Structure 1
Amino acid sequence: MNRRPTLLAAAALTAVAALSLSACGSGDDSSSDDIKGADVGGGTASASPSVSASQGGVRRPEITLPSEFQADFENWANSDPKLQAVMDDGREQLRAKYAAVIDADPNSDAVAFYSSEATQVSARKWIKQFTDDDDSIIGKVTVFEPKALISDTGSGVLFYCVDERQASTKNRKTGKIVKTPDEPESVLQYRTRLDKTAQGVWKTTSVTVAKGGCSR
């Protein structure tokens, strides 16, 4: 599955300008304690699978993933409710893209709900890489080391790592399974910016994906 996120990175190479967080496992000695507003907290692994119904008075789409594909979010908890809201909507944007691949639906309403117009274009292009090949995804990805802050301009910044080494693509027609290579470059770092809408939804407005940006 690694080749598709690489293509996503090329399609959505939008820098999070003037905003920075320490890289996940990049070898940088800085930690979340060095980042103003960043607090991973002491939450337990795997937060609730989907933010459905109303959160903050906003009706959000319910996103479900089948049993053959798992997206495990480790320590996805923050003691600051504002940063938790950024993390929750950032998580759902990623889950929406996985669900759209599995459903072969590049025009997913859930993807649109959590993405700006610009990131909808890149997300749909990424999803279409799979649907054009008639591929779905199976196995498991682990999402870990979330780091979030809210900038002076009010934008949210969310970095996180995605380990894809236990995930595979599966062709819908032939059943052929292609495993993600078991190598450091299959652990990706997502660098995202989010802006809050008038309705209170943190929409992802910028995504950069770095291969091998995290270690595990």
Structure 2
Amino acid sequence: MTRRPTLLAAAALTTAAVLSLSACGGSDGDSKDNDKIAGADSGGKKSESPSPKASADGIDRPTIELPKDVKNVFEGGKTGDPKKDAVLADNERWVDSLIEAVTVDAKDHPAIKFYASGDALLSSAEYIDGFRKKSKSFVGTTRYYNRQVTFLKDGVAAVTYCQDGTKTYPKDLKTGKVDRSVEGSASDYAFFNTRVKKNDQGVWQTDSVTSTAGAKKCM
């Protein structure tokens, strides 16, 4: 198994894989199938997800809680532009929701559906399922940096950023063991280009993702 908890698996879905997920009901409007894809059932012992809480912007957002041994570090702080800051904040929440779904054993992960749409929602499910089928997870810290927002048109923007996964390690869910012997490599660095769209609730949902592994600009 690769040691990286990167979003590369989510970004690298082939057309065939997307169509396969869609054929299972991911885009036909069936709410039950959509819940299966977006929730990405983790298997094993179940626990109830926290109820949504109203944030400062008045949006009822699902709570996201990562394990104590899993951390996402988003560098860059505030841009000084409230609109860009809102986009970056929801991008962070999407990343956190995806990592939560892989690392937290819960009955459902509503944040996935809340912060992703379109191809990104399908690829998120594929990413999560890839870990669960192998009974794998991970621990450690992932760093996100060089984060930029470019507004394309009203309600649509591009978010680009780098990812450093050299401080993450694979975990076997069956034994609970963590393999910290694997050394970091160039492939642990990646560049991401995501498209986000503002929905009716005012949430900037990630709609599509492309990535480059071993990106020199991120090293």
Q: Fold-level match, TM-score > 0.5?
A: yes
Within a 5 Å distance, the mapping from 1:156-195 to structure 2 comes to 156-179=157-180, 181-195=183-197
**Cα distance change of structure 1 residues 178 and 210 upon mapping to structure 2, 3 Å threshold:** farther
User: Are 2:88 and 1:87 equivalent residues in the alignment?
Assistant: yes
Which segment drifts farther, 1-10 or 202-211?
1-10
In the alignment, the residues of structure 1 paired with residue 14 and residue 102 of structure 2 have an alpha-carbon distance, to the nearest angstrom, of: 17
User: Which structure shows the higher helix fraction?
Assistant: 2
**Cα distance change of structure 1 residues 191 and 204 upon mapping to structure 2, 3 Å threshold:** same
3-state SS of 2:76 partner: coil
Aligned residue number for residue 200 of structure 1: 202
Aligned residue number for residue 19 of structure 1: none
Aligned residue number for residue 53 of structure 1: 54
**Cα distance change of structure 1 residues 195 and 126 upon mapping to structure 2, 3 Å threshold:** same
3-state SS of 1:177 partner: coil
Residues 5 and 138, structure 2, Cα contact 8 Å, conserved in 1: no
Which segment drifts farther, 104-113 or 150-159?
104-113
RMSD: 2.3
Residues 71 and 142, structure 1, Cα contact 8 Å, conserved in 2: yes
Cα deviation digits, residues 40-83 of structure 1 (max 9, x gap): xxxxxxxxxxx963242211112111111111111232110000
Aligned residue number for residue 7 of structure 1: 9
In the alignment, the residues of structure 2 paired with residue 4 and residue 166 of structure 1 have an alpha-carbon distance, to the nearest angstrom, of: 11
In the alignment, the residues of structure 1 paired with residue 120 and residue 107 of structure 2 have an alpha-carbon distance, to the nearest angstrom, of: 13
**Cα distance change of structure 1 residues 200 and 6 upon mapping to structure 2, 3 Å threshold:** closer
Amino acid paired to 1:114: Y
How far 1:177 moved relative to its partner?
Answer: 2.9
How far 1:149 moved relative to its partner?
Answer: 1.8
Q: Percent identity?
A: 28
In the alignment, the residues of structure 1 paired with residue 11 and residue 104 of structure 2 have an alpha-carbon distance, to the nearest angstrom, of: 22
Amino acid paired to 2:218: S
Q: TM-score, normalised by structure 1?
A: 0.75
In the alignment, the residues of structure 2 paired with residue 64 and residue 76 of structure 1 have an alpha-carbon distance, to the nearest angstrom, of: 21
**Cα distance change of structure 1 residues 63 and 12 upon mapping to structure 2, 3 Å threshold:** farther
3-state SS of 1:98 partner: helix
In the alignment, the residues of structure 1 paired with residue 76 and residue 175 of structure 2 have an alpha-carbon distance, to the nearest angstrom, of: 37
Aligned residue number for residue 218 of structure 2: 215
Residues 5 and 165, structure 2, Cα contact 8 Å, conserved in 1: no
Q: TM-score, normalised by structure 2?
A: 0.74
Residues 106 and 124, structure 1, Cα contact 8 Å, conserved in 2: no
Amino acid paired to 1:162: Q
Within a 5 Å distance, the mapping from 1:83-122 to structure 2 comes to 83-104=84-105, 108-122=109-123
